[in-house]
Amino acid sequence: MNERIKILADRLAKDHFLEKSEYLEIIQNSDKEEREYLAALARAERERHYGRDVYIRGLIEISNICKNDCYYCGIRASNKNCDRYRLTKEDILACCDEGYALGFRTFVMQGGEDGHFTDEFLVELLGGIKSRYPDCAVTLSLGERSRESYARLKEAGADRYLLRHETSDPEHYGLLHPESLTLANRLKCLRDLRELGYQVGCGFMVGSPYQTDEMLAGELEFIGQFKPDMCGIGPFIPHKDTDFRDFKAGSVDLTCLLLSCIRLIHPTVLLPATTALGSLEEGGRERGILAGANVVMPNLSPASVRRKYMLYDNKLSDGAESAQAKAALEERMRSIGYTVVVSRGDAKNNQ
């Protein structure tokens, strides 16, 4: 074991904080043994707050129509090969009905920035979900909207909002997005959401094109400062119809190391073992849980559209990834010593 990394890991577990240069040391000098040491510390921290419970979210991918053209994303506006779809209100409510019966108590509605989803549409939809299922949390992940829009959706019953910041380095942001999208506006959206009382999630891809180790150290520093309620990180995976098709995918090992660091930096954060982690490696989600994650988000979208929400090549959507295979997921979690629970699964920020 690298003694210096052990000292940094112990200090991180105790103080929940390191300097950026020290995060960089961990990122650059952790091998299997050091990663496992950090994962053990992260598991202990997670268990202090959440025991061995795993929270599940039913992910409903409501549309793959998007006005944006993020260079990494398979559903970007300029991808002519993407077979577009949009769910109706009835489709979405039917997903919730099915999810509720399966034991889901959080529904995540995610989609491209599709102009069809006006505030009026979403307010009615949220009203429908909340009146049927008042014991459930609703998470939205529909990209950048105005503060007024976020306020209306909050009032209509939305509890949480996921908006990955993607990178906290403005120049890197510019290499991943067209000029119409700016880091400044993303961060404004995140601040607005927080001020409006949402539980807020940010996050980033690991191994995205042009990302450096220094930038990843910066992401850890950003998480420590922003302290999101949720943090979605997963490996970048190239999509064949984007300009980034020839870039390498991010690493599962590095993603797990960063999950462990994030758990230690912000012990009560809700941290998903993402689909991208499971898509890149068999058992990737279990590895995420063992690195300190405590949330999984199986796919609850109608089977007919599931393969169309292709953010990256070979994205998992069937099998153990589907909400219908909850029993298989429960078994996978049980096999590593964790328990899927029926619960809204809010962040335990005040304990």
Contact stretch for ligand SAM (CB under 6 A) within 37-45, 136-144, 252-260, 319-327:
136-144
In degrees, rounded to 5, the angle at the alpha carbon of residue 128 between the alpha carbons of residues 126 and 134 is 80
Span 196-225, contacts to ligand SAM by CB under 6 A: 205
173 binds ligand SAM (CB under 6 A): no
Shortest Å, Cβ 232 to ligand SAM? 7
Cα 157 from Cα 166, distance rounded (Å) = 26
Interface with ligand SAM, residue 69, by CB under 6 A: no
Q: Which residue lies nearer to ligand SAM by CB, 97 or 282?
A: 282
- 276 scored as a contact of ligand SAM (CB under 6 A): yes
With 0-12 / 13-18 / 19 or more C-beta atoms within 10 angstroms meaning exposed / middle / buried, residue 327 is exposed
**236: contact with ligand SAM by CB under 6 A:** yes
Phi, psi of 132 (to 5 degrees): -75, -40
The correct pick among 72, 198, 222, 338 for binding ligand SAM (CB under 6 A) is 72
Q: Which two tokens stand for residue 240?
A: 């064949």
- What's the CA angle centered on 301, arms 297 and 304, to 5 degrees? 140
Amino acid at position 42, single letter: A
Region binding ligand SAM by CB under 6 A among candidate stretches 138-146, 280-288, 325-333, 336-344: 138-146
| Binding residues for ligand SAM, total number by CB under 6 A | 19
Shortest Å distance, C-beta 296 to ligand SAM? 16
Q: Closest approach of Cβ 75 to ligand SAM, in Å? A: 6
Q: Which residues pair with 339 in a beta bridge?
A: 53
Report if residue 113 touches ligand SAM, rule: CB under 6 A. yes
Alpha helices in the chain (DSSP H): 3-15, 20-29, 32-50, 89-102, 119-132, 147-155, 170-176, 183-195, 213-226, 252-265, 275-280, 284-290, 326-335
- Footprint of ligand SAM on this chain (CB under 6 A)? 72-73, 110, 112-113, 141-143, 163-164, 166, 205, 234, 236-237, 239, 276, 311-312
